[in-house]
Amino acid sequence: MTYLKSHWQLLALIAVVFALWQTPIVYPLKILVVFLHELSHALAAWLTGGSVVQISLSPQQGGFAITRGGNLFAILSAGYLGSLILGVALLMAALRSQSDRVVTAALGAVMLLITLLYVRDLFAAVFCVLAGATLLAMARYLGHRANDMALRVIGLSSIIYVPYDIYDDTIARRGVQSDAQMLADAFGGTAQIWGGLWIIISVAVIIWCVRRILGHSSNIILRP
């Protein structure tokens, strides 16, 4: 009961996101999570000495990142696990810092920069420009609590979506082309084995997040 009182806002937020997940209301949020997935591939490429050729998003909530060089194992693994870490980082920024507006602005600026450098298709370009501009406007014109809530929504959505997306891509729909299938083709094993391993890791990260990041209370103090 104490836990519910201390974190009821986050729990309510999770319930709302789940309830609306199949509706058009959260469609932009889904595409933003896909962007974080593809951005994670790009980050892994850069961190392992590679480069990025193109990043794309599709209206069907898919996407791809074309990279050159770098560590293939890290790049393929980074899509799901990297977007999970980015989600945790955004949630941590909301819960454990007062820099919400700075983080929101940074995310918006990154989206615009990625669009300028690596996006070539119309849908991805329009979405990233609109989303990036919206985040920058929020950071500029809205207060701390509004930006805090935005980071919570984005962070939680990315965290929640990762294990579901892994299961859907590697276990529920066997045979589809996915990061896990490409990893299996390159390094052996099966997509189901890699997907199962990623699910275990993602659940462990989520448990750590619950234990270490939430703190005594995660509720936003509402003042008149």
Residues 61-109 have pLDDT tens digits of 889 999 999 999 999 999 999 999 999 999 988 888 888 999 999 999 9
- Rounded to 10°, the helix 144-167/27-47 angle is 80
Helix, strand and coil percent figures for the chain, each rounded to 5: 75, 5, 20
- Confidence at residue 224, expressed as pLDDT on a 0 to 100 scale: 45
Tokens at residue 35, please?
């962007």
Compute CA distances 15 → 8, 20, 205, whole Å. Answer: 10, 9, 20
Element housing 218 (H / E) = none
- Confidence at residue 3, expressed as pLDDT on a 0 to 100 scale: 59
Please, which pLDDT band fits residue 221 given cuts at 50, 70 and 90? low
Question: What would the mean pLDDT of 103-118 be, rounded to a whole number?
Answer: 97
Q: What secondary structure letter does DSSP report for 191?
A: H
Residues in the chain: 224
Tokens at residue 173, please?
């729909």
Which is higher by pLDDT, 19 or 8? Answer: 19
Query: What's the whole-number average pLDDT of the chain?
Result: 89
The reported pTM is 0.91
Element housing 44 (H / E) = helix 27-47
SS3 67: strand
Distance CA 12, CA 47 (A): 37
Which is higher by pLDDT, 130 or 215? Answer: 130
Distance CA 217, CA 210 (A): 11
Domain boundaries along the sequence of the chain? 25-158
Question: What would the mean pLDDT of 191-214 be, rounded to a whole number?
Answer: 86
Tokens at residue 220, please?
């936003």
Compute the chain's Rg from CA coordinates: 18
